[in-house]
Amino acid sequence: MKFRNGLDSLLRPEDSVLVLIDHQPYQLANLNSHDPHMVVNNTTALAKCAKVFGVPTILTTVVAARGGNIFPHVTEVFPGQEVIDRTTINTWEDPKVVDAVKATGRKQLIIAGLWTEICVAMPAIQAAGEGWDVTVITDASGGTSVEAHEVAIQRMIAGGINMMTWLALASEWQRDWARAETANTLNDALRDHVGGSAIAYIWEQQLLNTPVPAAAV
């Protein structure tokens, strides 16, 4: 087994491409591995982070006429962007999606979608076998059961696929808070999507911006 380690193994925004797969109402309705609200939150956060770092993002659905459109929370991050609608269950068998990914010239392929055991596992395993450096964002994905999600993750790890969460990915892309060109806009995304830490950050800003009262005479 080849271990993933060393600085070069970390994800870089300039080498990354993101594919968001089947974040649709039908799939969400039978999501049982995670709180649906959290998956919507995490997927939206992932989309916003990709935009902050200029990571090309491909949006795709399967038979949207029946399964519904991608969550508006996601499409609003990329206004006017085409959503590639497929008939193939395995996204990596759709030439239009694969061509869009290849056109970016990037080899760090990041995938999130619904459901983990089907619409994420199949393209991830196929792409990894074709030489792509594949990472799955587990908390912006989800399965029809906890078991389905966890077994799919084990299956993909066995296939050499990297697992991360959206916040870990954002941190890896940022890498250094001295990178001011992305630090402020990343903080905006974190403020909206990381719950308690976000509220603590807002409180900190309130305290820092509150004038010290003049000493009583």
List of domains in the chain: 14-174 (3.40.50.850)
For residue range 135-151, list pLDDT tens digits in order: 999 999 999 999 999 99
pLDDT at 202: 73
Task: Provide mean pLDDT across the span 6-27.
Answer: 97
pLDDT in the model for residue 216: 54
pLDDT in tens, 148-178: 999 999 999 999 999 999 999 999 999 999 9
Q: Which residues are catalytic?
A: 119
pLDDT of residue 3: 75
Q: Minimal CA–CA distance to 44: which of 194, 182, 148? A: 194
Nearest to 71 by CA among 61, 82, 58: 61
| Tens-digit pLDDT profile for residues 71-130 | 999 999 999 999 999 999 999 999 999 999 999 999 999 999 999 999 999 999 999 999
Q: How confident is the model at residue 203 (pLDDT cuts 50, 70, 90)?
A: confident
Query: How many DSSP H helices and E strands does the chain contain?
Result: 10, 6
